[in-house]
């Protein structure tokens, strides 16, 4: 369910909002993957506001805000949708953040009320702060949790208020697999030597 011409929309955005810098990303195989539209991070509020009241293809609802950490940069994906029986629509709108130390975005709670909890979750998991958010707190983790769990370079704290939360070798499956693989290689080599 897409029903929206992203190229046309990107052109429209660039004309209407100076500096929006909208670019469309089409995957190699359009049947298998979804296309997305990337805009400048500093313009996200204006872009979303514009898309909500777009004359031809409005989007009346926000489905989800999801973050992705690509190590060199972080991405926040807004999935907008249009609840209409005649013209259902959906699009993925993205912004890129290169600053990992203090990433900041403008909150869109004033446009979509759904963004309130969603932005809190992105803040909780990726440490991205949202300007003008009414109540920016952690939502799933405890308030005094350290670190941003869904970042790729995250290392869980060993204990939390005296409770062991990350015993050695409990969470990181890759380490375990790596060790097992090393053992197998060693055994095979020994068998060969005999």
Residue ranges in contact with other proteins by CB under 8 A: 1, 27-29, 31-34, 36, 60-64, 66-69, 77, 79, 81, 83, 85, 88, 90, 92, 112-114, 116-117, 125, 133-142, 149-150, 171-174
Rounded to a whole number of angstroms, the minimum distance from the CB of residue 63 to other proteins is 6
CB atoms within 10 A of CB 17: 17
Q: Which is nearer to other proteins, 14 or 63 (CB)?
A: 63
Cα 140 from Cα 125, distance rounded (Å):
9
Q: Which residues contact 73 (CB under 8 A, 6 or more apart)?
A: 96, 97, 98
Q: Which is nearer to other proteins, 36 or 46 (CB)?
A: 36
Q: Which is nearer to other proteins, 20 or 79 (CB)?
A: 79
Rounded to a whole number of angstroms, the minimum distance from the CB of residue 171 to other proteins is 8
CB atoms within 10 A of CB 135: 10
Rounded to a whole number of angstroms, the minimum distance from the CB of residue 61 to other proteins is 5
Q: Are 104 and 79 in contact (CB under 8 A)?
A: no
Rounded to a whole number of angstroms, the minimum distance from the CB of residue 66 to other proteins is 4
Torsional sign, CA 33, 39, 40, 46: negative
């Amino acid at each position: 369910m897409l029903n929206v011409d992203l190229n046309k929309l990107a052109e429209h955005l660039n004309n209407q909002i100076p500096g929006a810098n909208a670019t469309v990303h089409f995957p190699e195989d359009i049947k298998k993957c979804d296309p997305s539209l990337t805009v400048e991070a500093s313009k996200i509020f204006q872009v979303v506001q514009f898309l909500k009241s777009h004359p031809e293809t409005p989007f009346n609802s926000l489905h989800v805000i999801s973050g992705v950490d690509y190590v060199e940069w972080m991405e926040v994906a807004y999935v907008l949708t249009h609840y209409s029986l005649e013209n259902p629509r959906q699009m993925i709108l993205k912004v890129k953040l290169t600053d990992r130390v203090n990433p900041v975005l403008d909150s869109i709670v004033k446009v979509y009320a759904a963004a309130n909890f969603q932005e809190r979750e992105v803040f909780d998991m990726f440490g991205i702060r949202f300007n003008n958010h009414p109540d920016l707190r952690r939502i799933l983790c405890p308030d005094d949790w350290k670190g941003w769990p869904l970042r790729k370079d995250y290392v869980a704290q060993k204990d939390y208020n005296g409770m062991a939360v990350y015993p050695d070798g409990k969470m990181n499956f890759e380490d375990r697999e790596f060790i097992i693989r090393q053992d197998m290689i060693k055994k095979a080599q020994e068998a060969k030597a005999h």
